[in-house]
Structures are given as C-alpha cells and as structure tokens.
Amino acid sequence: MIKHIQDTMTLSNGVNMPGLGLGVFKVEEGPTLVQAVKAAIAHGYRSMDTAAIYENERSVGQAIHEAMQENHLAREELFITSKVWNADLGYESTIAAYEASLERLGLDYLDLYLIHWPVKGKYNEAWRALETLYREGRVKAIGVSNFQVHHLEDLMSHAEITPMVNQVELHPRLTQKELLRFTKEHGIQLEAWSPLMQGELLSNDTLLEIAAQHGKSVAQIILRWDLQNGVITIPKSTKEHRIVENAALFDFELSQEEMERIDALNQNLRVGPDPDNFDF
Ligand SMILES: NC(=O)c1ccc[n+]([C@@H]2O[C@H](COP(=O)([O-])OP(=O)(O)OC[C@H]3O[C@@H](n4cnc5c(N)ncnc54)[C@H](OP(=O)(O)O)[C@@H]3O)[C@@H](O)[C@H]2O)c1
C-alpha cells in the first residue's frame, strides 16, 4: 500500500507510476490550467494525465517546464501521460500523433502513452505503433484506455507486448470488479478516470457517513478506496485547496468493512460513454 503522495505502483515492465495524479479533462488552455498543474506539482503531485483530444497539452507542457524550474525537479521525477485520439488510430498516424503530442508538451518522451478508446478494427494497428515507440525507447510505458475484458483479450491475442496500464471509468457506482480481477491476473495496472464520478458522489449518504467517521471528505474516502484497491487514481480539480485535499490520503485507513460498504454502492452506472457502444 502506498504511504505518500509520491509513492508509486510498479508496472509490469518495472516502471514506477505514481498512485495519484492530476487529471485535466475539460480544462482549456490558459492560466487556470497552468496554475492548477503548477499548484499540483508544488504540493507534491508528480503525475499528470492529459490527452490530445483535451486540446490542452501546450498549457500542461508550459506548466511542467515552469514547475520543474521553480521546484528544482528533473524531468525524470515527473510522470506524464497522454493519449492518441480515435481519428489518429493507425500505424503511421499514431506515431505522428505521438510526435505531435510531444511537440505540444515540449517534451522528448512520455512516461505513458495510451490508446484513448477501443475503436473497432483500429486499435490493433495502433497498438503495433505503440510497441514500436516502446521498443525504440521513445516512451517509458504503453497502455490502453476504456478497454473491457474482451477488448483486452482481442488486443493481447494480436500483440507482442501486453499493455502495462488500462485507464477506465471507475468509482463507487462503477466498481469494475471483473476488469480489476482480469487486469491483476495479467499484470495490467488499472487506473481510474472520473474517480469522483465528476462530483456526483459527493453527497452520497454512505460515503458521508464513512467520511465523518474519519474526519475526512467524501472525495478523500473515494480516492483512498482506489489506492487500497491497488488502483491508480487521477482526480481533476483546478482549485488549489481541492488539489491539496485530494492528496491528503495518507493519514487514515479504510477498514475491510468500509471497503466492502463502498463496493456495495456499485450499480454499473457510468457518467461517461460506454466502451461497447460509442460513436466517436
Ligand atoms: N481516458 C478517458 O477516456 C478519460 C475520460 C474522462 C476523464 N479522464 C481523466 O480522468 C480525470 C478525472 O476525471 P474527471 O475530470 O472526468 O472527473 P473527476 O475527477 O471524477 O471529478 C472532477 C470534478 O470534481 C470536482 N472536484 C475535484 N475534487 C473535488 C473535491 N475534493 N471536492 C469537491 N469537488 C471536487 C472538480 O471540480 P473543480 O475543478 O472545480 O474542483 C470537477 O468538477 C480527467 O481529468 C482526465 O484526465 C479520462
């Protein structure tokens, strides 16, 4: 169990990925985003999750560079993730998309590059491109996002390298137990997006009760539940006090009974698109 904001989970290839990162979905380029990323790094976050489709890699990159200088950090101390968008899935086009993301971020490598969505008939070819980037040492780890068990099985039957990470929607209303079991069995690290269900879970009675018992917020209870489940989590906030709050997860522990009460909130309910039925 990780005990500190900078503690990591070890991926199947030995790369260490922080258990906690900052998400930046739906945050536009500009000063708010730059300040959020810089605040996160100043408060000890080391992992940032962006994507080409968020159209904010330039601001994330600017913030990373400023924060490295101000906090005397080397590039290797940070863990930067981006994702190839659906329109770019293909061998050459995925490699070009990776290079374009690097250029926008102002970086010469990423720590993790993901296939954003399992577009039918396209992801296996894109995976070959990620394998090439990985073999050539241009990216530290490669993975997928929004892959269900059957997508993973299909990809792994064609792939030479098993994905190191699968980033999926995961929160107490969508506990993803089957996927968690499958990924653990195959050495794939599961990572939770929309861990706070985009804010929808913050007034849930069960979570409020557990939070009151620990003198913590509901957000902290959910994020701690992720970590105790061995799931990497990337809550998004642009507010400094919440960025701090979402990282104060290491001075309490959920009991087995509390973990089970949270698991029991599952309704297989999504806030985002269904990976088996999306049209983009
Ligand atoms: N791979 C994918 O397909 C995919 C899809 C969606 C998201 N993601 C990634 O996952 C990250 C997180 O998911 P998300 O942004 O969808 O949702 P989220 O992290 O579950 O929730 C973010 C929302 O909760 C609020 N919030 C954050 N901390 C809070 C706190 N302590 N108390 C109260 N409210 C709080 C934020 O508002 P403020 O900003 O105003 O604080 C924001 O409205 C994304 O940013 C992105 O990096 C990936």
> In this predicted model, what pLDDT tens digit does every residue of 43-97 receive, in sequence order?
999 999 999 999 999 999 999 999 999 999 999 999 999 999 999 999 999 999 9
DSSP 4: S
Q: Is 54 known to be catalytic?
A: yes
- Span 142-158, pLDDT tens digits: 999 999 999 999 999 99
- Please name the residue whose Cα sits nearest to atom 31 of ligand 1: 242
The DSSP result for 73-104, as a single string, is --GGG-EEEEEE-GGG-SHHHHHHHHHHHHHH
Within 71-217, residue ranges assigned H as helices are 91-105, 123-135, 149-158, 177-185, 205-214
Q: Report yes or no on whether pTM surpasses 0.95.
A: yes
Q: Which residue's alpha carbon is at the smallest distance from atom 5 of ligand 1?
A: 193
Q: 54, 98, 123, 134: which is the annotated catalytic residue?
A: 54
N-to-C CA span, the chain: 37
What's the pLDDT tens digit per position in 163-193? 999 999 999 999 999 999 999 999 999 999 9
> Residues 200-207: what's their mean pLDDT?
97
For residue 1, is pLDDT > 90? Answer: no
What pLDDT was estimated at residue 245?
A: 98
Distance 132 CA to ligand 1 centre (A): 32
Pocket of ligand 1 (CB under 6 A): 23-25, 49, 116, 145-146, 167, 193-199, 202, 217, 219, 234-239, 242, 245-246, 272
Counting residues of the chain whose pLDDT is more than 90, the rounded percentage is: 99
Q: Are 92 and 125 in contact (CB under 8 A)?
A: no
Mutate to test the pocket of ligand 1, among 20, 25, 189 (most ligand atoms within 8 A of CB): 25
